[in-house]
């Protein structure tokens, strides 16, 4: 039982990483691991609190993800073109369609892709390079702040799980 517990905690750690790094499942992995623990331990009462907290965290993460990028874009004066460009840049950067990077691969592409995409999208819309760069930086900063907040929420969900289930798995 303890081996399964530790494997599920490892899945949750991947979920925490995924909450911060785009394109890796985040809070949903944590939620799945908690549900699996409920099935394996045959005790849904033991996971009731972590399950509720994780569902709330999942909903908050979706809201934070949307709001952080939107607020960052709005503060920088970005248009929909910049936001669409950032999304396309994220996809292209992650799947390595940006020119071959000498180091960093997809992780660096995840950072550079949205920035370049937002700048290109905004430039196509407004034809002002300074405004486009400002919008690109605003979108990326908003997204990074949002991802960090999602990471903090994911860590909180895992801590609640550990605190509520640890005595069941490792009685003193």
φ/ψ of 13, rounded to 5, equals -65, -40
Q: What is the pLDDT of residue 104?
A: 56
DSSP secondary-structure letter at 20? H
User: Mean pLDDT per segment of 10 residues, for the chain of length 172 residues?
Assistant: 91 90 80 89 80 84 74 76 81 66 62 82 86 82 83 91 85 77
Contacts of residue 76, Cβ cutoff 8 Å, sequence gap at least 6: 134, 135, 136, 137, 138, 139, 141, 142
Q: What is the pTM of this model?
A: 0.74
Report pLDDT for 155: 93
**Which tokens in the block code for residue 66?**
């949307």
According to the model, what pLDDT value does residue 23 have?
Answer: 66
């Amino acid at each position: 039982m303890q081996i399964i517990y530790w494997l599920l905690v490892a899945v949750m750690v991947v979920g925490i990483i995924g909450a911060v790094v785009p394109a890796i499942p985040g809070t949903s992995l944590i939620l799945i691991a908690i549900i699996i623990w409920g099935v394996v331990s045959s005790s849904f009462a033991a996971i009731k609190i972590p399950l509720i907290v994780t569902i709330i965290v999942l909903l908050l993460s979706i809201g934070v993800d949307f709001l952080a990028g939107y607020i960052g874009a709005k503060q920088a004066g970005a248009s929909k073109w910049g936001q669409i460009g950032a999304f396309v840049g994220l996809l292209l950067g992650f799947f390595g369609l940006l020119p071959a990077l000498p180091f960093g691969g997809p992780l660096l592409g995840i950072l550079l892709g949205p920035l370049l995409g937002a700048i290109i999208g905004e430039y196509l819309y407004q034809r002002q390079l300074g405004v486009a760069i400002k919008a690109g930086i605003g979108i990326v900063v908003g997204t990074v702040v949002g991802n960090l907040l999602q990471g903090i929420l994911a860590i909180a969900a895992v801590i609640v799980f550990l605190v509520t289930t640890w005595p069941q798995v490792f009685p003193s």
